[in-house]
Amino acid sequence: MKKNVNQVYIIAVALLFIASCSEDVLDVKNLSVYNPEDVWNDPTLSNAYLVDLYASTFTGWPLNDGNNADESVGILGQGFIQTTNGSFKHWPFTNIRKVNVLLNEIDGGNLPESSKRTIKAQAHFMRAFHYFKTVVFHGGVPIIKVPQLLTDDLMVPRNSTLECFEFILEDLDIAISGLPDRFTGGDFGRVDKGAAMAFKGRVLLYMASPQFNPSNPYNNAFWQTAYEANRAALTFLEAQGYGLMPNYSDIWMESANKEVVLATVYRNPVKVNGRQEHCVRPISQSRNCTGGDQPIWKLVTSFPMKDGAKPGESNNYTYDVQRFWENRDPRFYEIVVYNGSLYELGGAKGRRQYTDIQLGGIDDGFGPGSNFGRSGFYTKKGIQIDLPIEQAELNDVDWVEIRFAEVLFNLAESANETGRSNEAFQILKQIRERAGIDPGTDANFGLKSEMTRDEMRKAIYDEKFIEFAFEGKRFWDLRRARLLHTQIDGMRKFGLQAKLKEGLNPISGREFMPEDFDYEVTELFNTGQTEMYTPDTYYFFPIHRDEIERNPNLLQNKGWDEGTFDPTIN
C-alpha cells in the first residue's frame, strides 16, 4: 500500500512541473500516462520533483516579521500565541515526506550516478532546512527518515533537541559532500556547497545559543564548533569569489551578485511578488494592500551618525529630533523613507514622500484622523521604485536567504564567544566600511576599541539590527539570545508625526523639504494591546494541540498545557 501511495504522489508532483519549470517539459510525452517508476529514470521528471521540493521549502521576503520585535509597526500581544491557533507553529512533515520519497526511491531508477548524487544532496539539505526551522520553533520533534503514508498520523514520540540537531548536521554533511562547489547561470538559486556550509554555520550558532543552552549560554563547547564551521564557510566562499558588495543597495538590485550565497529567484512574469511590494509601498502608490514593514522610531534612532557614533554622542555631527535625517549612516537612506525625502515611486522624478497628514493625506499620513498603523516612515529595501501602481505586484527582486554578510556576522559572534574578540572587531569594521561610515582618525569606524566580551556581543547584535533590517533576523536573534523578555516584553512602540510649520500653506504648490516640518515622537497604540508581550515561554513555541491529540506519543513543551517536554539542550 505504501508504494502505491508514494507512486500516486510522484505523478501528481510531476504534473505540477508543467506550470512551474522550463520549456523542456513540453517536449516529453503526456505526463499523465507516465509509470511512476519512470520519474527516477527520466532527468526531466526527476528535476520536476526536485523543483517542487524547492518551491515547498524556500519562501520569499518575510513581511511584517519585525512587528514581533522592535523593528516595525505591530504589537505581539498577550494571548496571540496559543496552543489552539496557528500563530508561531511549524509542522512541515508533509514536505519532509516529499524529501523522504525522493531519498527512498531515486536509487531504484537508472539516472546517472552523478545526477543521483547531486539530487540527493539537495534533498538532504532541504530536509535539514525543514527540521532546523521546526526545531527553532518547538525544540525536538520526531525524526522521520522514511516516507510515511499520506494518512499516517506520525504515531512516534519526539526526539530530543540534541538528537534533532545531530540529525540536521548529518544531513548537511551529506549535502556538502555531494554538492558542486557553486551553481551558476541557469542553475543559480539551487543549493550548492557554499550555501550548505554557510547554513551549517547558522545551525551551529543556534545550537550553541542561550535559547537552547540556558544553563550554560556562552561557555558551552558548541561555540567552538560553530566558530570552526563558520570560519570554514567563510574561507570556502571567499575562494569561490563571494564577498561584500561595494554598494549596500546593490545587494538586492543586482541578481546573482557576489554577496548572494542562496536566493529564491524571482523573474517577471514567471515568478513575481516575493517582496509583496504592493503591501510595503504607501497606499497612494500601491494596490490591494499596504502598511507592511513600516519602521518605528526605535529602528530609526538605532542607525548611527555618519561617523559611526550613536545619535547625540558624536563629536563630529550634531543630532536633533527636528533634523533627525541629517548625517546618518548611509544605510539609513537606503532603508528608511522619511517625511519629505525623495521616493520616486512609479518613476516619478522628484517625487517626495510626505507623512504629514496635510500633504500625505489620510492614505499616507500619520497623525490625527490617519489610518491605523502608520508610523511616519516607510522602507525602500527590496522595492522596485520604477514599477507603476498597476504593476506593484510584479516585483521580481530575489529573496536572499543567505548572504555573505550573515556568514561574517555568524563568524563574529562565535569568535567573540571563543575568546577571539579582535577577530569579531575586524569583521564589524568590514561591515561599517562597506556601509560608508567615516573611518575616523583611529580607523575604527566609530566602534569602541578594546570592548569586553559582553560589549562586543551587544555591538554585534546592534550592528546586525541595522544591516539586516526587514530581512527577518531581529526577532529571531533576540529570541536566540534570550533577550525577548528584557528588550521586548512590555515595550511600547512609537512613530514620528510630522506637521507642516505654522505659516506654510499646504496647497501653495511649492515643494516642501523635511526641514519645513515640526516633528513629535508619538506613541502608536493607545487602545487595545499597547505593550509587547514576550514571556519566557516564547523561547519555545507550543506544538499545536491538534497534533498532540492526534498523536498521544507527542509531549507538549513545558509551559504550555501542562506540557512536560524539555526542548533545551542544557
Q: Please tell me whether residues 43 and 165 are part of one structural domain.
A: yes
**Does residue 519 carry a pLDDT above 70?**
yes
Domain-located, residue 445:
no
Domain-located, residue 478:
yes
Domain-located, residue 47:
yes
Q: Please tell me whether residues 371 and 303 are part of one structural domain.
A: yes
**Does residue 30 carry a pLDDT above 80?**
no
Q: Please tell me whether residues 508 and 559 are part of one structural domain.
A: no
pLDDT for the residue 368: 81
Confidence of residue 411 (pLDDT cuts 50, 70, 90): very high
Total domains, the chain: 2
Q: Please tell me whether residues 531 and 558 are part of one structural domain.
A: no
pLDDT for the residue 154: 64
Confidence of residue 149 (pLDDT cuts 50, 70, 90): low
Q: Please tell me whether residues 41 and 169 are part of one structural domain.
A: yes
C-alpha cell of residue 49: 520533483
**Beta carbons of 88 and 137 less than 8 angstroms apart:** yes
Q: Quick: pLDDT tens for 291-301.
A: 899 999 999 99
Q: Please tell me whether residues 295 and 173 are part of one structural domain.
A: no
Q: Please tell me whether residues 497 and 364 are part of one structural domain.
A: yes
pLDDT for the residue 155: 84
Q: Quick: pLDDT tens for 439-453.
A: 999 999 999 999 999
pLDDT for the residue 120: 98
C-alpha cell of residue 289: 494592500
Confidence of residue 14 (pLDDT cuts 50, 70, 90): very low
Q: Please tell me whether residues 565 and 480 are part of one structural domain.
A: no
d(C-alpha 36, C-alpha 32), whole Å: 10
Q: Please tell me whether residues 121 and 42 are part of one structural domain.
A: yes
> In a 3-state reduction of DSSP, which class is residue 295?
strand
Average pLDDT, the chain: 92
Domain-located, residue 421:
no
Give me the mean pLDDT over the 121-141 stretch.
98
d(C-alpha 477, C-alpha 475), whole Å: 6
Domain-located, residue 464:
no
Long-range contact pairs involving 177-183 (C-beta distance under 8 Å, separation at least 24): 177/121, 178/117, 178/118, 178/120, 178/121, 178/124, 179/118, 179/121, 179/122, 179/125, 180/118, 181/240, 182/240
pLDDT for the residue 523: 94
Domain-located, residue 305:
yes
Q: Please tell me whether residues 173 and 319 are part of one structural domain.
A: no
Q: Please tell me whether residues 367 and 309 are part of one structural domain.
A: yes
User: What range defines the domain where residue 504 resides?
Assistant: 289-390+472-535
| Rounded-to-5 percentages of helix, strand, coil across the chain | 45, 10, 45
pLDDT for the residue 139: 98
Q: Quick: pLDDT tens for 468-490.
A: 999 999 999 999 999 999 999 99
Nearest to residue 144, comparing CAs of 122, 167, 165? 167
Give me the mean pLDDT over the 231-260 stretch.
97
**Does residue 31 carry a pLDDT above 90?**
no
**Range with the poorest average pLDDT among 149-163, 236-250, 268-282, 533-547:** 149-163
CA distances from 419 to 13, 213, 226, 431, 456 (A): 50, 19, 13, 21, 11
CATH number reported for the structural domain that contains residue 115 in this entry: 1.25.40.890
pTM of the model: 0.94
Domain-located, residue 417:
no
**Does residue 37 carry a pLDDT above 90?**
no
**Beta carbons of 273 and 395 less than 8 angstroms apart:** yes
pLDDT for the residue 11: 45
Q: Please tell me whether residues 294 and 370 are part of one structural domain.
A: yes
Q: Which string of DSSP letters, residue by residue, matches 429-483?
A: HHHHHHHT---TTTTSTTPPSS--HHHHHHHHHHHHHHHTTTTT-HHHHHHHTT-
The DSSP H or E segment spanning 94 is helix 93-105
pLDDT for the residue 187: 96
Domain-located, residue 300:
yes
